[in-house]
Structure 1
Amino acid sequence: MMIHYNFDFENGQQLKFQVDLDRQYDFKQDLSMAPDWTKLENNKCQNCPLKSQQYSHCPAALDLDKVMADFQKIPASTKVYVKVTTTEREYAKRVTLEEGVRALMGLIMATSACPIFSTLKPNARHHLPFASKEEFILRSASLYLMHQYLIARDGGEADWELKGLIKTNEQLQLVNHAFWQRTMTAFQSDANSKALLSFFTLSSNMSASLQSQLSKMKSVFYSG
């Protein structure tokens, strides 16, 4: 399944990206020319399960390298028209570059070979670019509860209290923070750094106050 991102800038510049959601990572590929910032031990996430003896480079960093290089000299506040094309439909919106980069980077990270980011792959398969905070919370909780229903249906013990979702976002918070530090060693980019910091904020909010944020969602189901 392919998702296409087109960035059209007011000065006529265009940047196009194609993300294969089912891409396979070749752990035996020649990475001798890969940038230093993508090496696994460069600001390695403290919860990373990958071993340096087997993996010389961070798979998520390798996937993001071209994107971050393309955007590194463009201010985050730059207005851009972004069109996202999926198999089922198209999304288009005039946004700040930060918002467009955040959507693209989130999709790439969620479909990378990183064991932590890969927990978000179900979200990526139903990609919703430019999602609001409310949409993000509803989608995350809904997909998690669907997974728990399937576990229960197959005879497993379901987590209806969403404890696992909170734990997942705690893990993502650690990865997002470390990843931001990693990229700052190579890129001085306003757009890239702000996009990564927004991921850190989202995972932080989900892990610290998920129940209170879900309580605010009552208006979706009840009036008055």
Structure 2
Amino acid sequence: MSLSPGSSGSPEQAASETRYFRYTFSFEDGTERTFEVHLDPVTLALVAPISDPLPEWTRLENEQCPNCPLSPKRAPHCPIAARVVPLLQIFGGRESHELCLVTVEGPQRTYSRRTSLQRGLSSLLGIFMVSSGCPVMDKLRPMLDTHLPFASQEETIYRMISSYLVTQYFRQRKGWPTDWRLKDFPARLQEISTVDRAFAKRLRSVGIRDAGLNAIVILNTFGEMTSFTIEEEDWDRLEALFLRAETRDAPVP
């Protein structure tokens, strides 16, 4: 992972040994910020040295998530906090609702959208949170394999459910317990939502209150929306979509 404004070189060259995403934020005042995020091609973990020294607010015990399984002895710093320091430093003085053109270059295609800074940051921050090494957010890391910037609520719901079910398939191949009825899925989302809220609290504790914090709120909202959908068993639309072409194979009563 490389995170730096004004990075040089083509994304293709930079990504020769990694998976990359290049985010460019173009503001109405003429300023521009570009960040390249590089991931290990096999594990999808962030590839970059961590800032040294790290600020005090990144220490694990500082507003540690209530469901965090790590200990300060094993991990002195929160994995997510340690990774997002450069990002928050650069955008700390910006207004969350400031409009900008966000362009995302990836291995296969380029996305572009005129949106608020907090919306663009939400997409970028999501990469950092699930690939940082946080053991709770790590369960979402496979979704980076098909990273979708600016995803809508419907797209996020679809992708999270699909990712969970693919996981169950591979668990079954290993002979491990499976959850095809998604009974444990809401609980997993609640764990993720807990991390989102706790990390936002960590940022508030050191006075980080605008763009970065609002990006966390957006991520948390999507997680809660997905949990609500599953708990209410609101499957009608998806059922109709997937079974439309399968009705001829339905068993005869």
TM-score, scaled to structure 1: 0.89
The answer on 1:15 being equivalent to 2:33 is: yes
Q: Is the 8 A contact 1:37 1:182 kept in 2?
A: yes
CA contact (8 A) 1:64 1:108 kept: yes
Paired position in structure 2 for 1:185? 205
Q: Distance in 1 between matches of 2:22 and 2:146?
A: 14
Instruction: Find out whether 1:74 has 2:94 as its counterpart.
Output: yes
- In 2 relative to 1, CA 89–50 (structure 1 residues): closer, same or farther, beyond 3 Å? same
SS at match of 1:12: coil
Indicate whether 1:153 and 2:173 are aligned: yes
C-alpha distance in 2, partners of 1:150/1:75? 43
The alignment status of 1:141 with 2:132, answered yes or no, reads no
Which of the pair has more CA radius of gyration?
A: 2
Partner of 2:219: 199
Aligned residues: 220
Give 1:205 shift.
2.9
Answer yes or no: is 1:107 the counterpart of 2:127.
yes
Q: In the TM superposition, what is the alpha-carbon distance from 1:72 to its structure 2 partner?
A: 1.7
Matched, 1:37 2:57: yes
CA distance, structure 1, for counterparts of residue 166 and residue 76 of structure 2? 36
* Consecutive unaligned residues in structure 1, runs of 5 or more: none
Q: 5 Å matches for 1:124-139? A: 124-139=144-159
- CA deviations 1:83-118 (Å, max 9, x no partner) are 111111111111111110000000111111111111
Q: What SS does the aligned partner of 2:69 have?
A: coil
Query: Higher relative contact order at CA 8 Å, sep ≥6: structure 1 or structure 2?
Result: 1
Q: Read off the aligned partner of 1:77 and give its amino acid letter.
A: H
Report which stretch shifted further, 10-19 or 195-204: 195-204
CA distance in 1: counterparts of 2:220 and 2:102, whole angstroms: 23
CA deviations on 1:190-215 (whole Å, 9 max, x unpaired) are 22121111222222233344243652
Offset of residue 144 of structure 1: 1.0
Alignment of 1:117-128 (within 5 A): 117-128=137-148
Aligned: 1:96 with 2:116? yes
Alignment of 1:209-220 (within 5 A): 209-212=229-232, 214-215=234-235, 217-218=237-238, 220=241
Kindly report structure 1 stretches of 4+ aligned residues shifted beyond 4 Å: none
Whole-angstrom distance in 2 between the partners of 1:101 and 1:41: 25
- Rounded to whole Å, the distance in 2 between the matches of 1:134 and 1:76 is 23
How far is 1:44 from its partner? 0.3
Structure 2 residue 52 is matched with structure 1 residue 58:
no
User: In 2 relative to 1, CA 99–54 (structure 1 residues): closer, same or farther, beyond 3 Å?
Assistant: same
Letter in 2 for 1:174: T
2: distance between equivalents of 1:213 and 1:16? 41
Quick one: percent identity of the two aligned structures?
Answer: 32
Gaps of 5+ in 2: 1-18, 41-45, 245-253
Q: Tell me, in whole angstroms, the C-alpha distance in 1 between the residues paired with 2:51 and 2:96.
A: 33
Q: Bigger CA drift: 186-195 or 12-21?
A: 186-195
C-alpha distance in structure 1 between counterparts of 2:230 and 2:127, whole Å: 22
Q: 1:216 to 1:189 in 2, by over 3 A?
A: farther
Q: TM-score scaled by structure 2?
A: 0.80
Structure 2 counterpart of 1:144, which letter? Y
1:3-28 superposed Cα distances (whole Å, 9 cap, x missing partner): 111111111111111112223587xx
Equivalent position amino acid for 2:133 in 1? A
Q: Is the 8 A contact 1:137 1:214 kept in 2?
A: no
